[in-house]
Chains A and B, each alone.
Chain A
Amino acid sequence: MSELTQSSPLALGAQPDTGAALAPTQLELMRELGVKPRPGWTSRLSPGLAAFVTNGKGMAGVVILLILVLTSLCAPLLTDFDPKRRAGKPHVEPGYEHVLGTTRMGKDVFTQLVYGGRVSLAVGFGAGIAAAMIGLAIGISAGYFGGRVDDILSFFVNVVLVLPGLPLIIVIATMVEEASPLVIGLVLALTGWGWAARTIRTQTLSLRTREFVLSAELMGEKKWRIILVEIFPNMLSFVMGGFVLGTIAAILAEAALEFIGLGDPNAVTWGTMLFWAQNNLALQSGAWWEIWPPCIAIMLTGAALVLVNFAVDEITNPQLRASRRIGGIRRFLNRRGRSADVF
């Protein structure tokens, strides 16, 4: 038994402090705070994907989007009418034969909604993906190559960011006469890549000086290979974020453009449905069923994309994730009569 002298804590006769709370074991703590490991099947996925799949908000958004996409794809199965032709009397109220009623021209609203969804969603997602891709290409190039290339590309990125989008699109769309949804989608993609480019450039710049990139360069790897294999995988979440935001912007802008009459009035999309409803003074004549369905469809799509964006945000930003645990931590402290340290 070693001798105890004055200078050690044990020597001072320190008893195990009765006031000191004994810490729970890690497992007990997890149970108390409600921290659960992910379900087993997620271990086969990459960590980012696993995080996304277990995120309630994100998955809710994905489910809503899937429902919308599926109903649009299965349009012929859900309705027998032709969206562009008269299906019944004008302004028939929703009922058995016409689930959502008919427009002033006698076309079935539900049919228009599901067929229109095909175009609106396709244009929205298409423009979103295209904008994200352009933004990715330009952002990575600007960030990776730096110097002159960066200066020139950044200038264009800033110009695209600063120029007001809708007025520019209006100019282009007017000149093209009746712009088909495809043209609108193209124009939206060409004007909407600014934000993605900027965030990706910033991220590339910070990754560029990281060791794994420098070592790949020293080893003589070809530049494009470095970009593809080393830098790109770290960007995935930012690309996702850019895609989601781009899609939201595209869908809203498309609806707005068609609403003010710039689209092809003969096309059937959610935006043109609104255009015709407004033109036919649907609200004033009490035909609410001509306006509400496309409104709700657009709102749902926007809301779903926002939820997905929330999830992507939480995954990329650890600080936002940490906030979810605050409630549990506060309760833990309260139970022991202690106050929180910082935030």
Chain B
Amino acid sequence: MIFLLRRLAFYLAALLVAITLNFFIPRLMPGDPSARIIASFQGRLNESQVQAIRQSYGLTGSLWEQYLTYLGSVARLDFGISTVQFPEPTASLLFYGAGWTLVLVGIAIFFAFIIGSLMGIHAAWHRGSFFDSVFTPINVILNAFTPAIVALLLFYAFSLELKWFPLGRAHDPNLMPGWYPEFILSVLYHATLPVLSIFLVSFGGWHLGMRNVMINLLNEDFVVLARAKGLSDQRVRYRYVARNAILPQITALALSIGFLLGGALVTEQVFNYPGLGKFTFTAIQSRDYSFIQGQLLLLTMSVLVANLVSDIANVILDPRLRR
């Protein structure tokens, strides 16, 4: 329990760091986020209106006051007003996009972790065999490809040339969103290629990670003892080796979520998928600062939550942490 509380304290501290960075970076740069909006009104605003706009961007008062106001608004999940879709609040855009991104990343991670880990277990158990000498390098090299490129290649091959998959969007625009089979199938159909791109670049990492952890474990005394005891291969493989190997892998999973989310951003751009990434892209092009800052905070919070979940999983699975 103490372990979990310390982790929670750390995550809150990390979140504070992210918020503070978010606060200071725009203020360190030349220029002013609100200047654009004000300029777009081309001088038809009076002084109090300009002040009101500046206030909504948190640019009035002393630095400390601004900081506190910012903290307060983040706590209320008020990420400001979007400049692109003025005056839509950024938060609603963020959450809409985040939902779709979650579908993508969630499915991709699920398959990548499970399939990659199983392949890694197999490669470690039969190390030096054909499977290991061939698939391990291939999977790892795949892992080194940037998601952007894999997405582009898949898009080119399957959407453009072969026309097996749609050119974009999250679902058939003719269907109304809802929880019925047709819609869900459409969502899955549209998500296939983006999920595949993310899957291809990440499962190799799990393969290699699991394989290396297991190879180190295979040399441990307790595994040799398990073999010496004459236990079945099945039992040794799962109850002794994999059960221990999963612990560092879960931690690694949590740490990699940040990276995977980044990769998803680019993939969505290629597939015109209405997730966080696509909105971020438009936000970048139109310099919608509040959205960009908002996505950092939202993603940071997601990563921290994922880490907390993995810590909880570790406590459940590792009796040594339960003191």
Asked if residues A174 and B287 are in contact (CB atoms below 8 Å), the reply is yes
Q: How far is the CB of A249 from chain B (nearest CB, A)?
A: 8
Contact B10 A155 (CB under 8 A): yes
Residues of chain B contacted by A253 (CB below 8 angstroms)? 262
Interface residues of A in 236-273 (CB under 8 A from B): 248, 252-253, 255-256, 259-262
Q: A283-B155, A313-B212 are in contact. Are A165 and B25 (CB under 8 A)?
A: no
**Which residues of B (227-242) have their CB < 8 Å from a CB of A?**
227
Which one of A177, A274, A317, A325 lies within 8 Å of B148 (CB-CB)? Answer: A274
Is A326 interfacial (CB-CB < 8 Å)? Answer: yes
- A248 nearest CB neighbor, chain B only: B144
Contacts of A323 in B (CB 8 A): 127-128, 132, 215
Q: A residues within 8 A CB of B31?
A: 177
CB–CB A164/B258 < 8 A: yes
For residue B147, CB closer than 8 A to chain A, the reply is: yes
Given contacts A171-B292, A260-B265, contact A306 B141 (CB under 8 A): yes
The residue of chain B having its C-beta at the shortest distance from the C-beta of A325 within the complex is B128
Q: A21: CB under 8 A from chain B?
A: no
8 A Cβ contacts from B211-255 to A:
212, 215-216, 218-219, 224, 227, 255
- The smallest C-beta distance from B38 to any residue of chain A, in angstroms, reads 18
Collect the chain B residues with CB atoms within 8 Å of residue A31's CB: none
The answer to whether A259 and B145 touch (CB under 8 A), given A162-B14, A163-B303, is no
In the complex, which residues of chain A have a beta carbon less than 8 angstroms from the beta carbon of B141? 302-303, 306-307
Contact status B29-A176, CB under 8 Å: yes
B13 and A159 form a contact (CB under 8 A):
yes
Q: Once the chains bind, are B307 and A162 in contact (CB under 8 Å)?
A: yes
Please give the distance in Å from B261's CB to the nearest CB on chain A. 6
User: How far apart are the CA atoms of A310 and B292 in the complex, in Å?
Assistant: 37
Chain B contacts of A248 at CB under 8 A?
144
> Whose C-beta in chain A lies nearest to the C-beta of B264?
A166
Q: Is the CB of A306 within 8 A of B143?
A: yes
A164, A170, A288, A320 pick with most chain B CB within 10 angstroms: A164
In the complex, what residues of B have CB within 8 A of residue A313's CB? Answer: 212
Q: For the complex, is B203 an interface residue (Cβ under 8 Å from A)?
A: no
Min CB distance A32 to B, Å, is: 17
- Docked CA distance A327–B132 (Å): 12
Decide: A161 and B255 in contact? CB cutoff 8 A: yes
User: Once bound together, how far apart are the Cα atoms of A303 and B149, in whole Å?
Assistant: 13
Contact with A along B1-20 (1 / 0, CB 8 A): 00000000011011001100
User: Does A343 contact B218, Cβ atoms closer than 8 Å?
Assistant: yes
* Range, interface on chain B: 35 or more
Bound form: Cα–Cα A261–B270 in Å = 13
B231 CB to nearest chain A CB (Å): 12
B289 touching A174, Cβ below 8 Å? yes
Number of residues on chain A facing chain B (CB within 8 A): 55
Q: Is A256 in contact with B147, judged by CB distance below 8 angstroms?
A: yes
Interface: B74 (CB within 8 A): no
Q: Which residues of A contact B17 (CB under 8 A)?
A: 159, 163
Query: In this complex, what residue of A is CB-closest to B21?
Result: A168
Instruction: Knowing A163-B258, A260-B281, A310-B137 are in contact, say whether A168-B296 is a contact too (CB < 8 A).
Output: yes
Instruction: Determine if B134 is an interface residue (Cβ-Cβ < 8 Å).
Output: no
Bound form: Cα–Cα A167–B219 in Å = 40
B284-A175 in contact (CB<8A): no
Known interface pairs A57-B137, A302-B144; A165-B259 also in contact (CB < 8 Å): yes
- Structural contact, A306 and B303, CB atoms closer than 8 A: no
Q: What are the residues of chain B within 8 A of A175 when measuring CB–CB?
A: 25-26, 28-29, 289
Judged by a CB distance under 8 angstroms, whether B197 is at the interface is no
Binary contact track B256-299/A, C-beta < 8 Å → 1, others 0: 01110111011001100000000011001101010011011001
Q: Is B152 an interface residue (CB 8 A)?
A: yes
A162 to B300: give the CA distance in the assembly, Å.
8
Known: A57-B137, A168-B21, A175-B29. A255 touches B148 (CB 8 A): yes
CB-CB under 8 A from B227, the residues of chain A are: 342
- Supposing A259-B266, A326-B128 touch, asked if A165 and B258 sit within 8 A by C-beta, the answer is yes
A-B CB proximity, top 6 nearest: A166-B262, A164-B258, A326-B128, A302-B144, A252-B146, A175-B29
23 contacts between A and B (CB under 8 A): A155-B10, A162-B255, A164-B259, A167-B261, A167-B299, A167-B300, A170-B295, A171-B21, A172-B25, A174-B289, A175-B25, A175-B26, A175-B28, A255-B146, A255-B148, A262-B284, A278-B152, A299-B144, A299-B145, A302-B145, A313-B212, A317-B216, A343-B218
| 5 extra interface residue pairs, beta carbon distance < 8 Å, beyond A165-B259, A319-B215, A320-B212 | A158-B14, A164-B299, A167-B295, A259-B266, A278-B270
